[in-house]
Structures are given as structure tokens and as C-alpha cells.
A and B are shown apart, each in its own frame.
Chain A
Amino acid sequence: MAVTVRTSPTKKAPPPRPRAGKWRTRRSRWDLKLSPYAFVSPFFILFAAFGLYPLIWTAWMSLHRVELSNPDQMTWLGLKNFTDLLGDAHFWNAFTNTFTIGVISTVPQLLIALGLAHILNYKLRGRTFFRIAVLTPYATSVAASAIVFAQLFGRDFGFINWLLSFVGVDNIDFTNSKWPAQIAISVIVIWRWTGYNALIYLAAMQAIPQDLYESAGMDGASRWQQFWHVTIPGLRPTIVFTVIVSTIGASQLFGEPMLFGGGGSPEQGGADNQYQTLAMYFFERGFTDQHLGRAAAIAWAMFLLIVVFVAINTLLARRARSAN
């Protein structure tokens, strides 16, 4: 009698599945496959309704002439709104202002935040208090802080002008000049965001292993050299993150310049549009002048500019990383 050698491991035949269990196992299969999607769906449903749909509708509007007084009537224009923007002096003025205010507010902010984080990293007395204190400006409302700072920068009775009078400087009309206004707005932004970025850097700094500093110290590196050659490289991903987030925030700057002017028509950013940012220009065209189609084109142009900025940022970061 031939003995058949079973190569497969011994297996009992599975018992026949009971009828009732068929539904249950199908449900459990669905549970495994579909419940992750179910858990994230609330966010995506809300995003689709309040984020994606307006994005697409704004793009659609930007191809038409639409007026706020009659939003249902849309006249097809093709890309005319966008080509008009290219020759629109107001648009490029707003773009330049956004760029300059962005640079003046972001660069000092991140540098100060870096320095603050380095100091807060030391074992100071009451360091928890200091760490909370740097975050309090972030907790104030944009409107309240902008209005108070606008008062401080007032021409005749502002605190800043009063301080400047002690060093012999005449009253500066912050609201009606270009660079003083942009610097004043940048001060408001720096005041708000420095603490926030400082704490992000601090958290990243605390993840840098202590023995790196010790070995650098043993090699004879001074404090400054340790900071430059140990701390900064360790913080590189964090720095890239904060730069990207600050860039996106700076391109959308709206509240602080809007409330800085006071008086009628604040969205015009001063009598000569000298501190009008892209977001304010979009608001002026869309809601003050009632040209929704043109405003939609400005909004999409802003979006594309932000994408370009972030792409440049990422490219530079990748180059810097690969050069290491």
C-alpha cells in the first residue's frame, strides 16, 4: 500500500460556518477596512463643504464678471481678470507691500525667537513663568492688540512719539507714511508671534542630546561656536517649519494693517495704499467696490504666490540639507 506523504502541515478541516455568523464576519471585515475612513470622514466632509467647495467656486467666479449686489448674474470673461491683474498697479503695489512687511516682520521675529529659546533653555529661576510670559501676546486677540498699538503709534498723543521726543525726533506720522507704517505693523506682528516660535524652538532644542555639547566643549568650542555648529543644525527641520508657517502667515496678513489705520476705508491701507497687503486689496475690490470676480482672481493669485514661495522655501531647504 502506497503511503502518501502529506507535505502540507496537518490541518483540521474548518468547521462549517453557522448561518448567523456570516453577517457578523462580513461586518467585521467592513469594520476593519472602512472604519478608519469613517473616523476621518467628519473632518473631510466639513473640509469638502467649507474648504474645497468655496475654493472651486472662487476659481469659477474668477473666470466671470460678478458683482456683490447681484451675485447670481455671472458674465463669462475667461482669463481676463487674471491678465488684468498683471497690468494692475494696485495689485503689484499690494504684492510688494506684502513682501516687504513679510520680510520686516518674519526675519527679526525668527531671529529673536531663536535667541529667546536659547536663553529659556538655561536653568533660570522662574523659567516656567518666563516661558508662559512669552506666549501671552499670542493669546490676545488680533483686533485688540492692533487697536492698542495703533494708539501707541498715534501722531500727536502716541506713546512711541513721546519716547522719541526724548531723543529729539519730531512726531512721526506713522499712519500716513510708508516705511514707518510698515515697521509699526511689523512690530505688532513680531510682538504677537515671537513667543510662539520661541517655544517651538525651545522644544526642539531640548531634544538635542547633551553629549553633543559636551564633546564640542571638550574640543574647545566657545558658546557661540556651540550654538552655531550644534544647536542650529539640530534645529534645521524646526527652522524650516517655522519659516514656511511664517511665510504663509505673512502672505495672508490682514487684521493688523486693517486696524492700524483707523478712520474710514481701512482696507485701502493708507491714503496712498502704502501699507495695503494682498488680502486687504482683495477685500477692497470684492466688498468695497463690489467686484467679486476680480477679487476672486486676486485670491487665487495670492494662493499661487504662496505655493511658489513655499516651493522655493522647500527647494532651498533641500539644497541646504543635501549640501551637508
Chain B
Amino acid sequence: MLSAHRKTAAAVAALVAGSLLLTACSSTSDEGAGNGGQITLKVGVFGTFGYKEAGLYDEYMKQHPNIKIVEDSVQNDSQYYPALLTRLASGSGLSDIQGIEVGRIADVTKNLSDKFVDLNTLGAANVKDTFYPAKWASATTSDGKVLGLGTDYGPLAMCYRTDLFKAAGLPTDSAAVSALWPDWAGYVKTGLQYKAKAPANQAWADSGSGMYNAVVGQSANQYYDASGNVVVSTNPAIKNAWDLTMQLSTQGLSAKLSQFSPAWNQSFSTGSFATIACPAWMLGYIKSQADTMSGKWGVAKIPGGAGNWGGSYFSIPKASKHQKEAYDLISWLTAPAQQTAMFTKRQAFPSSQTAAKDPAIAATTDGYFGDSPLGQIYSEAAAGTPQAILGVKDGAIRDLIVKGVTRVEAQGQSPEDSWSKSMADIKAATTG
């Protein structure tokens, strides 16, 4: 039999184990309004949405002392989205607010509408008119549920290095540069001129994939048709985008980097390319990667006409325990006043047409980009953008074609072989 000493030890051990089990099994609750305690809202995003950097979270927390905002950011949407899907499938680990990229919003509205809150029930109908109709419609399901509020838009422009242009004998003023490339053929031609004068390790563009995404963004018909069929292999707009990109890739005009990789981040500071297709959100990237390059960049119009690349939404998963507070936060963040602030501070172009009409937007410039009339360029681009038909696996298809561009640029594969492989990969990814 156990001695008395052993018995006490056994009892203490059982007590400790039992209390540990109890703490482990009890759920932490920070139910706010009821007991007046703090509510922590978790915001899950990818890349740099910019709200934190612009100080908007701090402003909101000052206005609402019982709310604490915690942002959780993953570098890239390609890693963010599969993780989000897994968490939605298991119903746990979700944030109160999840960012959704425009390449994924069609998947959300068609397949995941039962996992996100219909924002109409929280009052979204009141803010509908402040948004661009196209942006609003993309986040609405066929039976009228609104699953996301638009955060930013991605009107296209072309960013260029003023110092490198000067060294190669090209003009540096924004209007003059825009005149160099009224269309993509002009862009490639200027690139060849640049290549002739520039040192060997300075490429014209960072990557063919930037140009590819820009050209696709200028077309209303992209990877899907209106009935939801994948048309990537037959759509002439996509083949055209590919062929134009190949002109860049096969003539040595690209620095062969993979966008959003660590090497690409580094390249902003080392200056290995002179131009990069920059939707409004790219400006924030450029600024945050290389402070030393302030004043050495400029913004000109994109060749070929207005287009859009990217833009995101905020949505609220049904698993969130603070849906009302989360909706208050996202409707405040996407309100016209805050969207205007986001453009003047972070160059995230508004998805709110009310905000876009604000004269402060059109007058915006930023010292980092010299005296380029950013606001004007982006406003005009946003106004002229065609409304794109979105599809469920847009993001995945785009990634697979971008891979194809890398194969040609960096691995020396022929454009025809690379195109066939991309089409085969897309078929494997999109057919169940």
C-alpha cells in the first residue's frame, strides 16, 4: 500500500493534473459588451494593406477604447488563401476580419457564401452607393448576399526610375515619359533603346509577369466567361497578353525576378530594373522596400489604356464572435473619408467612387515619386477601367501563367512549350 508520504504526493499530482486539464479545456472568452471588457478584433490580411501603417487602427482604437485591433499579415496571397480555406473548412483559427483578394472573391461568392456573414444583415445596404458598382457587384452573390466591402482598387500606371532614365538619355518628366509609350509596342521599343545604353546588370523591367498582369487587367474578358466556364486557352485577350510579354522576356528586357519573393524585395534597393507596372498598391511596396530611393522614382501612364490589377475586400467569417464590432470597423475603414486618407498617405486607390471624386485625390503627389501627378493618373485610370468578368479560380490560373513566364525568362524554355505546359497545368488545377 502507498505510504502516507506517497499518498500525499499522489493526491497533489492528481490535483495539479486535474486543474491543468480544466484550464486547457476551458475556453477563453472575452465577450465584450456584456461585461464591459476589452474586445480584441483580429484582422487577417496578406501583403501590406496599409491600414496599420497609415495609423488608421490607432485612430479607431482611440475613438473606441474598448476595442483592440491586432493585424496578422502573411507575405503573399498565394500562401494566405489556401490557409484561409483550410481554416474555413475546420471552422477554427479564423480572424474576425479576413482580407480577400479580387482574384479569389469569385470563389467566395460562388462556393463559400455560407461561411461568411451577409453584410446586408449588419447594415451594408447603407454604404452600397459609396462604392464603385463593379466593385460592389463582384462581392455580391447571385441571391443578393453581400460578402465583402471593397478596400482598395488597383488602377494601373507605370513606375520608372528617373535617375536611370536620365543616365540613358530618356526624358524624366511624367508627361514626357507617358508620351514614350502610348501602347505596349512603344514600351518594348523604348526598352530596347534603354538596353542599348544601360549597363549589363540593369534590366528594363523587373519581370515579365508584371507586364502580363497589367495587360490582362486592361481587358474585360479574362480567364472566365460570363457563364463561369474557363476560357483561358481560347480567349484572344489572354494570348495577346502572353505574346506581348514574350516580347519582353525573349529580348532580354526583364530582370527575371519572381515578384513578391525575397530577391525581388531586395532588388528595389539594389536598383536592378528601371520600370515596373505599378497598380496603386504597388507604390506602398516600393516605398517600404527602399527608403534610400526616395525621389528617384516617377509615375507615368500605363501603355495601352486604363486597366486594373488587384484590389481587395474585407469580409467577416461566420465563425467570428464579434461580427457587429467587426462590421463597424470595416465600414469605418472603407468609408470615403478613410479611403481618401489611405490614398493620400499610402497611395491605396479608393474603391469608393464617393472618395474618388474628392479633389484631394486628384491633387495627390508624393515626394518619393518626385512631382508625378499620381492622383490624376490613377483617377483617370480608375474611371476608364473596364469591368472584368471574374471567375472562381482566377488567382490560381494567374499564378500558373506567371510560372510560365518565369520558365521562358529564367529557364530558357521556348514560349510555345511554356504556354502548352501552363494550359495543361490550368486544366489539372481547374477540373475536379
Chain A residues packing against B (C-beta within 8 Å): 65, 67-71, 88, 90, 147, 150-151, 154-157, 173, 175-177, 261-266, 268, 271-272, 274, 287-291
Question: B396 near A: Cβ within 8 Å?
Answer: yes
Q: Given A157-B266, A289-B396, does the pair A264, B260 have CB atoms closer than 8 Å?
A: yes
Q: Given A156-B263, A271-B403, does the pair A176, B270 have CB atoms closer than 8 Å?
A: no
Nearest A residue to B424 via CB reads A89
In B41-91, the 8 Å CB interface with A consists of: 76-79, 82, 85-86, 88-89
Contact check: which of A88, A150, A268, A291 meets B432 at CB < 8 Å?
A: A291
Nearest-neighbour CB distance to chain A for B200, whole angstroms, equals 12
Chain A residues with Cβ below 8 Å from B82 are: 68, 287-288, 290
Nearest B residue to A284 via CB reads B429
The A-B contact count (CB < 8 A) is: 95
Contact check: which of B89, B112, B411 meets A177 at CB < 8 Å?
A: B411
Chain A residues with Cβ below 8 Å from B76 are: 263-264
Q: Given A268-B403, A287-B82, A287-B86, does the pair A263, B264 have CB atoms closer than 8 Å?
A: yes
Residue from B78, B256, B413 with most neighbouring chain A CB atoms (10 Å): B78
21 sample A-B contacts, Cβ–Cβ < 8 Å, listed by A number: A67-B432, A68-B86, A90-B428, A151-B262, A156-B263, A175-B258, A175-B263, A176-B256, A261-B261, A262-B261, A262-B262, A264-B76, A264-B258, A264-B402, A265-B78, A268-B403, A271-B404, A271-B410, A271-B411, A288-B78, A288-B429
Chain A residues with Cβ below 8 Å from B403 are: 265, 268, 271-272
In B389-432, the 8 Å CB interface with A consists of: 396, 399, 402-404, 406-407, 410-411, 413, 421, 428-429, 432
Question: B38 near A: Cβ within 8 Å?
Answer: no
Contact check: which of A71, A263, A288 meets B261 at CB < 8 Å?
A: A263
Bound-state CA distance A235–B270 (Å) is: 52
Nearest-neighbour CB distance to chain B for A162, whole angstroms, equals 14
Bound-state CA distance A65–B431 (Å) is: 11
Chain B residues with Cβ below 8 Å from A271 are: 403-404, 406-407, 410-411
In B246-291, the 8 Å CB interface with A consists of: 256, 258-264, 266-267, 270, 272
Bound-state CA distance A290–B112 (Å) is: 13
Chain A residues with Cβ below 8 Å from B86 are: 68, 287
Nearest B residue to A155 via CB reads B263
Bound-state CA distance A143–B66 (Å) is: 37
Assess whether B406 is in contact with A69, with CB atoms less than 8 Å apart: no
Residue from A177, A271, A291 with most neighbouring chain B CB atoms (10 Å): A271
Assess whether B111 is in contact with A69, with CB atoms less than 8 Å apart: yes
Assess whether A70 is in contact with B111, with CB atoms less than 8 Å apart: yes
Nearest-neighbour CB distance to chain A for B85, whole angstroms, equals 5
Q: Given A156-B272, A271-B406, A271-B410, does the pair A289, B429 have CB atoms closer than 8 Å?
A: yes
Nearest A residue to B76 via CB reads A264
Contact check: which of B77, B112, B270, B399 meets A156 at CB < 8 Å?
A: B270
Question: B107 near A: Cβ within 8 Å?
Answer: yes
Nearest A residue to B265 via CB reads A262
Chain A residues with Cβ below 8 Å from B402 are: 264
Chain B residues with Cβ below 8 Å from A70 are: 111
Contact check: which of A71, A173, A288 meets B89 at CB < 8 Å?
A: A71
Nearest-neighbour CB distance to chain B for A254, whole angstroms, equals 14
Assess whether A287 is in contact with B429, with CB atoms less than 8 Å apart: no
Chain A residues with Cβ below 8 Å from B432 are: 65, 67, 291
Top 3 closest pairs, chain A to chain B, by CB: A263-B261, A271-B406, A263-B258
**Given pairs A151-B262, A288-B78, 4 additional interface contacts (CB within 8 A):** A154-B266, A264-B261, A272-B413, A290-B82
Bound-state CA distance A88–B404 (Å) is: 19
Chain B residues packing against A (C-beta within 8 Å): 76-79, 82, 85-86, 88-89, 107, 111-112, 201, 256, 258-264, 266-267, 270, 272, 396, 399, 402-404, 406-407, 410-411, 413, 421, 428-429, 432
Assess whether B410 is in contact with A173, with CB atoms less than 8 Å apart: yes
Nearest-neighbour CB distance to chain B for A221, whole angstroms, equals 52
Chain B residues with Cβ below 8 Å from A264 are: 76-79, 258-261, 399, 402
Assess whether B260 is in contact with A263, with CB atoms less than 8 Å apart: yes
Bound-state CA distance A157–B421 (Å) is: 31
Chain B residues with Cβ below 8 Å from A268 are: 403
Assess whether B85 is in contact with A287, with CB atoms less than 8 Å apart: yes
Chain A residues with Cβ below 8 Å from B78 are: 264-265, 288
Chain B residues with Cβ below 8 Å from A150 are: 262
Nearest-neighbour CB distance to chain B for A143, whole angstroms, equals 13
Nearest-neighbour CB distance to chain B for A149, whole angstroms, equals 12
Nearest-neighbour CB distance to chain A for B21, whole angstroms, equals 13
Chain A residues with Cβ below 8 Å from B421 are: 272
Residue from B76, B404, B407, B432 with most neighbouring chain A CB atoms (10 Å): B432
Q: Given A70-B111, A288-B396, A291-B432, does the pair A263, B79 have CB atoms closer than 8 Å?
A: no
Chain A residues with Cβ below 8 Å from B256 are: 173, 176
Assess whether B270 is in contact with A157, with CB atoms less than 8 Å apart: yes
Bound-state CA distance A99–B406 (Å) is: 25
Nearest-neighbour CB distance to chain A for B401, whole angstroms, equals 11
Assess whether A154 is in contact with B413, with CB atoms less than 8 Å apart: no
Nearest B residue to A157 via CB reads B266
Chain A residues with Cβ below 8 Å from B404 are: 271
Bound-state CA distance A162–B112 (Å) is: 49
Nearest-neighbour CB distance to chain A for B355, whole angstroms, equals 30
Bound-state CA distance A274–B403 (Å) is: 12
Nearest B residue to A69 via CB reads B111
Nearest-neighbour CB distance to chain A for B202, whole angstroms, equals 12
Contact check: which of B259, B261, B407, B429 meets A272 at CB < 8 Å?
A: B407
Assess whether B406 is in contact with A68, with CB atoms less than 8 Å apart: no
Residue from B86, B88, B258, B262 with most neighbouring chain A CB atoms (10 Å): B258
Chain A residues with Cβ below 8 Å from B107 are: 69
